[in-house]
Amino acid sequence: MCAVILPPRDPAPSRWAYRLQRLWLTPLFRTAVLKGLPLAVLLAIPAGWLADADRREALRAEVADIRRQVETRPEFMVKLMAIEGATPSVDEDIREILPLDFPVSSFDLDLKEMRRTVEGLDAVRSAEMRVRPGGILELRVVERVPALVWRSPEGLALLDAQGNRVAPIEARGARPDLPLIAGRGADKAVPEALHLIAAAGPIGSRLRGLVRVGERRWDVVLDRDQRILLPTRNAVATLERVIALDGVSDMLGRDIVVVDLRNPDRPTVRLAPEAVEEFRRIRRLQAGATN
Amino acid sequence: MTDLYQAQRAMRRMRKQAMDRGVIAILDVGSSKTACLVLRFDGIRPAGGVEQIGALAGQSRFRVIGAATTRSRGVRFGEIHGMHEAERAIRTAVQAAQKMAQVRVDHVIACFSGAGPRSYGLDGQVELAESMATEADIARVLAACEMPPIGPGREVLHAQPVNFALDHRSGLVDPRGQIGHRLACDMHLLTVDAGAIQNLVHCVKRCDLELAGIASSAYASGMSALVEDEQELGAACIDMGGGATGLSIFIKKHMIYADSVRMGGEHVTADISKGLHVPIATAERIKTLHGGVVATGVDDREMIDLGGDSGDYERDTRRISRTELIGIMRPRVEEILEEVRARLDAAGFEHLPSQQIVLTGAGSQIPGLDGLASRILGQQVRLGRPMRVQGLPQSATGPGFAAAVGLCLFASHPQDEWWDFDIPAERHPARSLKRAVRWFKENW
């Protein structure tokens, strides 16, 4: 009874088993299999599903539909617009340039763009917009305050203190309370004009307006066609000088057509033609001549 | 010679590469077992700079992270005998060690015990070009050693400078930077059969590994089994392996002689198998469990069952006394030791200042061997075990792993060899132009 003893199993790995084990112990390969492979599978499943154009289209439609449903919920709807701080005419203008068709979803409102549009209006200095709870689009407007009437080649216009156009007007008589300026480029020097008008307070009753000459200096026009020609620089101080002279010697009350201060070192006055005659006559009389 | 030089340099480069990567494998291809250790170098530098050795005599720089042993196949007398079998054994060991280490190793340092090692002592001397010895001078003096006729089909395995002398001062370890006129050196050259090396290289290559170094296992076991003062004062390490018994003589921390006896534990097993008519496996088991070399009165009464499965009752129930077993083992062990004695005498071992003999290797575990060896080899005999290295499993700390542990030390602290120095300019054919320029400089 001889038992057949099998030779002990050879423990040696085959060449391929050995190589595979070594490959498996290679860090790069190991990382690639353990982390890269699951990641690749996870990416490949959706990618394979999306490879079909119809499915992509359906998915896009689905997403758009859900988005629309959320956007059109009543919580997000804007039902009306409230405008604060605007006069009725500006209010009307704003409602005209903002083409809103209420009710509208607040997702569809581009507040920045709308604000830019509203601030593009001449009469609006600044605007704030927000969607208030309750579906109200609140628009808070600060209007420009007209400070001057400008007679320009294009017609009459109101300007605010910074020289921005506020609105056109039909006639000077519509705003008799505002001072008048004229001349090309006058709107660029509105702050100086306002200073001059303030400085001309003592002769305010006689002031007709200011004229911008050559886009660099001002003429002060008084009634009786009197003009004060101011220099380019230090116009306000020069005007105050003139007013002081007027206060001392009632200069402007005399028959003078032009007070020329374009060169402040050499003030010049021009008399009216009759006054020149009269002046010459008086000089002759004083000289003792008889005619 | 230049081929060998280049091959050894390539191996050194490979070793440096492996050190940079931090992982290297040790492969001890023995006749009875193939062991593989995987070392991890952590790059821990000694605190005191390069001059210092560091903690644990520098052994703290690496750690064993994988160890595996398998029965050798296809290896006889310490040489590869069946290429495929040996390759499979190497593969088994490497795979198991890699699995334990959980890291892939690409570089391996191997050792083997057989292939008829032969030692040569060389000397050479040169006049120094300048008064100070430089590294180039060392290269020149190493190159000035005359190559002995090592015979066809032999390869140089180790070529280690053992001693330097500058003028009349001998025993210098590092003559660089010292002042003198004449530099002389002694070199120990160890040659082995080229065929055995080529077989090993081929096997390792077939396992997809790169050979980063190759050493004689007698040298490796001497490195690990001899303690430092034994290496310094002079000692012989006898590595009793399965198929071959290697011996190496150390003095001043350098190996000066190595040889191997082509007999080992497998011959003892074969004797038992033949003498008792039992299979080799049974003989091996009886030898390891009951073996010995000194018989006493108790051994007559200690009976050993031989066992068997022939079906013949008489044959399967045979019993022998331990004395009979010892009677079979002792002559063979004596023969091995006498052969070792003859080699030691031939090497002039009796002229060394200290004649310590250290027995190691798995064969040294036979009970009573130290007593027998002291009668044949001399009075100063001890049994050696390899030194401890970090992370080595308990199962691999026995004397049978002396060569593997020695290779770890070889990997971490390699001795300077001839090929670590550049070939001097005079020897190099490609630099003849440089030589001509130098000649002009010197003569004009």
Task: Please check whether residue A193 lies inside any domain of the structure.
Answer: yes
Backbone angles phi, psi at B63, to 5 degrees: -145, 140
Q: Write down which residue in A93, A114, A143 finishes a domain.
A: A143
pLDDT at B63: 84
Quickly name the fold that domain B1-116+193-224+387-444 has: Nucleotidyltransferase; domain 5 (3.30.420)
**Residue A81 domain-assigned?**
yes
Percentage of the residues of chain A whose pLDDT score is greater than 90:
13
- Which residue, of A143, A162, A191, is where some domain finishes? A143
The verdict on a CB contact (< 8 Å) between B99 and A21 is yes
Q: Are A134 and A186 within one domain? A: no
Q: Return the pLDDT at A225.
A: 81
Query: Containing domain of residue A103, as a range?
Result: 74-143
Residues of chain A positioned with their CB less than 8 A from the CB of B100:
none
| Chain B residues within an 8 Å CB radius of A21 | 95, 98-99
- Pick B98's closest partner by Cβ from A2, A3, A25: A25
Mean pLDDT of chain B: 85
Q: In chain A, which residues have their Cβ closer than 8 Å to the Cβ of B94?
A: 18
* pLDDT for res B425: 56
Tokens of residue B63, six digits: 């750690």
DSSP letter assigned to residue B132: B
User: Which of A119, A143, A167 lies at the terminal end of a domain, its last residue?
Assistant: A143
Total domain count for chain A? 2
- Closest CB from B89, B102, B311 relative to A2: B311
**Contact across the interface for B102 and A18, Cβ inside 8 Å:** no
Complex confidence, ipTM? 0.73
User: Do A197 and A271 have their domain in common?
Assistant: yes
Domain regions of chain B by residue span: 1-116+193-224+387-444, 118-192, 265-329
Map tokens 């290429």 to a residue: B83
Beta strand pairing status for A256-260 and A268-271?
antiparallel
- Residue B165 token pair: 């002398």
At B218, is the secondary structure helix, strand, or coil? helix
Q: Is B63 exposed, middle or buried (0-12, 13-18, 19+ CB in 10 A)?
A: middle
Residue type, B140: R
A6, pLDDT greater than 70:
no
Please state the φ and ψ torsions of residue B309, each to the nearest 5 degrees: -135, 40
Choose among B89, B95, B309: nearest Cβ to A18: B95
All residues of chain B having their beta carbon less than 8 Å from the beta carbon of residue A1 are 311
Q: Does the domain at residues B265-329 carry the CATH identifier 3.40.50.300?
A: no
Q: Band of the pLDDT at A84, cuts 50, 70, 90?
A: confident
With a cut of 50, say whether residue A1 has pLDDT above it.
Answer: no
Nearest to B309 among A2, A19, A22 (CB): A2
pLDDT reading at A121 higher than 50: yes
> At the topology level of CATH, where does B118-192 sit?
Dna Ligase; domain 1 (3.30.1490)
Size of interface A-B (CB pairs under 8 A): 37
Asked whether A166 and A160 are in contact (CB, 8 A), the reply is yes
Let me know how long chain B is: 444
A21 in contact with B, Cβ within 8 Å: yes
> Dihedrals φ, ψ of A105, to 5°?
-75, 140
- C-alpha distance from B97 to closest chain A C-alpha (Å): 11
Q: Which residues are within 8 A (CB) of A61 and not within 5 positions of it... i.e. 6 or more apart?
A: none
Q: Look up the CATH number of the domain holding residue A243.
A: 3.40.50.11690
pLDDT 10s per residue in chain B (444 long)?
A: 457 777 888 888 888 888 878 889 999 998 889 999 999 887 655 555 555 554 445 555 788 899 999 988 888 888 888 888 888 899 999 999 999 988 889 899 999 888 889 999 888 888 887 888 888 888 888 888 888 888 888 888 888 888 888 888 888 888 888 888 888 889 999 999 988 888 898 899 888 898 888 899 999 999 999 988 888 888 999 999 888 999 999 988 889 999 999 999 999 999 999 999 898 989 999 999 998 998 888 888 988 988 888 888 888 888 999 999 999 999 999 999 999 999 999 988 888 888 899 999 988 999 989 899 999 988 889 999 888 888 888 888 889 899 999 998 888 877 777 777 776 655 555 566 777 788 888 787
User: Which one of A1, A12, A25 has the shortest CB-CB distance to B102?
Assistant: A25
pLDDT given at position B424:
63
Answer yes or no: do A129 and A197 share one domain. Answer: no
- Dihedral angle sign, alpha carbons of residues B171, B177, B180, B184: positive
A200-234 pLDDT, tens digit each: 888 878 888 888 888 888 888 888 888 888 888 88
**Looking at per-residue confidence, does A176 or B188 come out higher?**
B188
pLDDT of residue B146: 82
CATH of the domain at A111: 3.10.20.310
Best of A10, A18, A24 to disrupt the B interface (most B CBs within 10 Å) is A18
Q: How does pLDDT run across B330-368, given as a tens digit for each residue?
A: 999 999 999 999 999 998 888 888 889 999 998 899 998
User: What would the two tokens of residue B229 be?
Assistant: 């003062």
